[in-house]
Amino acid sequence: MTMSPHSRRRFLGTAALQSASALGLGSFMARPAGAAEIAAGRTLDAQAASPSQPLAQRAAAGPLPVVVVGTGYGGAVAALRLAEQGIPVVMLEMGQLWTQPASDGRLFSKTLTPDGRAMWFKTKTEAPLKTFLGLDIINKKIPAYAGVLDRVHLGGIDAYVGRGVGGGSLVNGGMAVTPREQDFGQILPGVDAGEMYAKWFPLANRLLGVNQVDPAWFEKAKCYRYARVARDQAQRAGYKTAFVPTVYDVGYLAREDLGQVTRSATAQEILYGNNHGKCSLDQSYLADAVGTGRVSIYTLHEVTALRQAAGGGYELDVRQIDAQGQELMRCTVRCAKLFLGAGSLGTSMMLVKARDTGGLPRLPAAVGAGWGHNGNVMAARSNPLGTSTGAIQSTMPVMGIDDRDHPTRPVFAELTPLPTGFENGVSMVLAITKNPERGTFRWDAASGQVKLDWRLEQNAASVAAVRSLIDPINRLLGTRYRTDLFGGGKAVADDFCYHPLGGCVLGQATDLLGRVKGHPGLYVVDGALIPGWTSVNPFVTITALAERNLHHLLREDFGVTA
């Protein structure tokens, strides 16, 4: 058997990520293996992962060349591209590795019977839907544990984020949408669109494993009845619709629909993790990164503070916990170069704290500014009596109402399921609207925390936009908004978002490659760079931008010549 260098690396990295979890390693890297071993399939045993030296020991030996904080999209791209140039990388991730089933045979808990794996140290789940028919039957009590989904309360709005090796890729809806080229200039002014669409978007799509359902299959799939119903209604109201690409394996999904494989998307799984079918980052970029043999990942290691190191580079205070939240260790790590990939919230909050409490006092005022939520709002409608939306609904949306050409309120509204497992007659959307409002993170000395200045009223433009899209459908069909789902009688859910973006905006807090202004060796690589809106779901853009930035940074700051 011969393997290309890329498949060999992916194979080795996947094996290491799986066996690290089986061995219960909180820090690990791939054991370098010879081609003969790989060809013989012998790396898929428990030896494929080697425990990394404990972080405190490693830190005591001197400064590390590169630390990457966070293992989401931006962090994963940075780790892969640095490591394949021969640079050793330490990744610090506050969440767990999710690659080995627990004693019930599952990686993640079931959506309708969640346990501690569902959420990050909550004692009750906090799902986007609060009630059904006004009844408090959705959220369940769970033990506090280092689970995979967090809902961060930011005052005027809550934001959902993923916690674990793979960040948001572990919990997201897999919608992998490249923005239209004609919108790109408004999203990331200053970035060469020609280069992005010729090189970095195609590369990101390929490595993320983006695929699309076969339109003919979609027309007959049981699990997309809900989407066909909503699409047909939208088209009758005069709207355009479009297929939405996904990182869920559409071949697997087709077999689920036929009942041939273990169900995941068709068994309500999404927010608390998919046990099958989805190509999360631990199966793509992170597997490739770990497969280089140069990337160590330290899980349940949270960075709590940053500062300038005497004599150059950066110092990080790190806290290690166990999965029950018990503190195991604290240490300080020094590094020459620091890549922040902790997500819009994580990266922005870390930097604002560092600026305003003296760790990095010269950080620009633009750090913490320009936060937005991609105009995310959800809304649901009833359907005419007797309309079947299907008892089994795929959680992976693959169709959207495309009203991005509207002159005053562009909207892309993905048709999302309400996967209760029984006929519920609801049609729901996750809308991405263009909302000009922005929030700012600031240090609050009284609470000793970073807060986001964002008021609920700042969502008014998004609520108005989605209502203006859906009202005509309701008028046409004689249907109504469902006000029994989001709490407080709301027709449009405007108090949470899935797409926090910005806080360290490209070209404002950083230069046009993500270098933090005035701080050599400090880089932002994640959604914090995106100025609050991407016109579509953001992870493809975050990944492609990170690919572009790393390509140029390696040449300009790391002396890579090829």
Site string for ligand FAE, 439-478 (x = CB under 6 A): ----------------------------------------
In the bound complex, what is the minimum distance in angstroms from residue 362's beta carbon to ligand FAE? Answer: 21
Residue 313 binds ligand FAE (CB under 6 A): no
Select the span of 71-79, 111-119, 199-207, 331-339 touching ligand FAE (CB under 6 A). 71-79
Residue 69 binds ligand FAE (CB under 6 A): yes
Burial class of residue 200 in the structure, from the number of CB atoms within 10 Å of its CB (0-12 exposed, 13-18 middle, 19+ buried): buried
**Where is 332: in which H helix or E strand?**
strand 327-340
Select the span of 360-368, 439-447, 512-520, 535-543 touching ligand FAE (CB under 6 A). 535-543
Residue 315 binds ligand FAE (CB under 6 A): no
Contact criterion met (CB below 8 Å) for 544 and 198: no
84-114 as b/e, with b when 16 or more CB fall inside 10 Å? beebebbbbbbbbbbbeeeeeebbbbbbeeb
Look up 437 and say whether it is catalytic: no
Residue 174 binds ligand FAE (CB under 6 A): yes
Please give the Cα distance from 445 to 443 (Å, whole number): 6
C-beta atoms surrounding 402 within 10 Å: 21
| Contact with ligand FAE (CB under 6 A) among 21, 43, 71, 99 | 71
Q: What are phi and psi of 15, to 5 degrees?
A: -60, -40
> Of 419 and 425, which CB lies nearer to ligand FAE in the complex structure?
419
Select the span of 101-109, 158-166, 327-335, 512-520 touching ligand FAE (CB under 6 A). 158-166
In the bound complex, what is the minimum distance in angstroms from residue 251's beta carbon to ligand FAE? Answer: 19
Residue 375 binds ligand FAE (CB under 6 A): no
Please give the Cα distance from 264 to 200 (Å, whole number): 31
Please give the Cα distance from 288 to 280 (Å, whole number): 12
**Catalytic: which of 276, 301, 499, 551?**
499
Please give the Cα distance from 151 to 121 (Å, whole number): 10
Contact criterion met (CB below 8 Å) for 161 and 152: yes
Select the span of 100-108, 159-167, 222-230, 552-560 touching ligand FAE (CB under 6 A). 159-167
**Separation in Å, CA 184 to CA 111, 187, 196, 355, 497:** 36, 5, 9, 31, 22
> Of 71 and 275, which CB lies nearer to ligand FAE in the complex structure?
71
Please give the Cα distance from 410 to 402 (Å, whole number): 9
Contact criterion met (CB below 8 Å) for 340 and 347: yes
| Contact with ligand FAE (CB under 6 A) among 392, 542, 545, 554 | 542
> Of 497 and 554, which CB lies nearer to ligand FAE in the complex structure?
497
Helix (H, G, I), strand (E, B) or coil at 368: coil
Binding to ligand FAE in span 383-442, by CB under 6 A:
none
| Contact with ligand FAE (CB under 6 A) among 96, 458, 537, 549 | 537
Residue 171 binds ligand FAE (CB under 6 A): yes
Alpha carbon 110 to its chain centroid, in Å, reads: 20
Contact criterion met (CB below 8 Å) for 118 and 109: yes
**How many residues lie near ligand FAE (CB under 6 A)?**
40
Residue 291 binds ligand FAE (CB under 6 A): no
Residue 72 binds ligand FAE (CB under 6 A): yes
**Catalytic: which of 256, 315, 414, 547?**
414
In the bound complex, what is the minimum distance in angstroms from residue 72's beta carbon to ligand FAE? Answer: 2
Residue 163 binds ligand FAE (CB under 6 A): yes
Select the span of 81-89, 129-137, 140-148, 537-545 touching ligand FAE (CB under 6 A). 537-545
Residue 122 binds ligand FAE (CB under 6 A): no
Q: Name the nearest CA neighbour of 291 among 23, 560, 84, 77.
A: 84
Look up 499 and say whether it is catalytic: yes
Select the span of 43-51, 173-181, 226-234, 448-456 touching ligand FAE (CB under 6 A). 173-181
Please give the Cα distance from 264 to 71 (Å, whole number): 24
Site string for ligand FAE, 494-523 (x = CB under 6 A): ----xx------------------------
Residue 230 binds ligand FAE (CB under 6 A): no
Residue 346 binds ligand FAE (CB under 6 A): yes
Please give the Cα distance from 397 to 243 (Å, whole number): 9
Residue 274 binds ligand FAE (CB under 6 A): no
| Contact with ligand FAE (CB under 6 A) among 172, 275, 280, 376 | 172
Contact criterion met (CB below 8 Å) for 541 and 549: no
| Contact with ligand FAE (CB under 6 A) among 108, 160, 200, 412 | 160
Please give the Cα distance from 536 to 494 (Å, whole number): 17
- Classify strands 426-433 and 440-444 as parallel, antiparallel or unpaired: unpaired
Continuous H helices in 316-445: 343-356
> Of 206 and 236, which CB lies nearer to ligand FAE in the complex structure?
206
Contact criterion met (CB below 8 Å) for 114 and 122: no
Select the span of 190-198, 417-425, 435-443, 534-542 touching ligand FAE (CB under 6 A). 534-542
Residue 269 binds ligand FAE (CB under 6 A): no
Contacts of 404 (CB under 8 A, 6+ apart): 180, 183, 410, 411, 412, 535
Q: Name the nearest CA neighbour of 369 among 437, 435, 441, 436.
A: 441
Q: What's 377's DSSP letter?
A: E
Residue 343 binds ligand FAE (CB under 6 A): yes
> Of 344 and 389, which CB lies nearer to ligand FAE in the complex structure?
344
Enumerate binding residues for ligand FAE (CB under 6 A).
69-75, 92-95, 160-164, 167-168, 171-175, 271, 302-303, 341-344, 346, 350, 498-499, 526-527, 537-539, 542
Q: Which residues are catalytic?
A: 414, 499
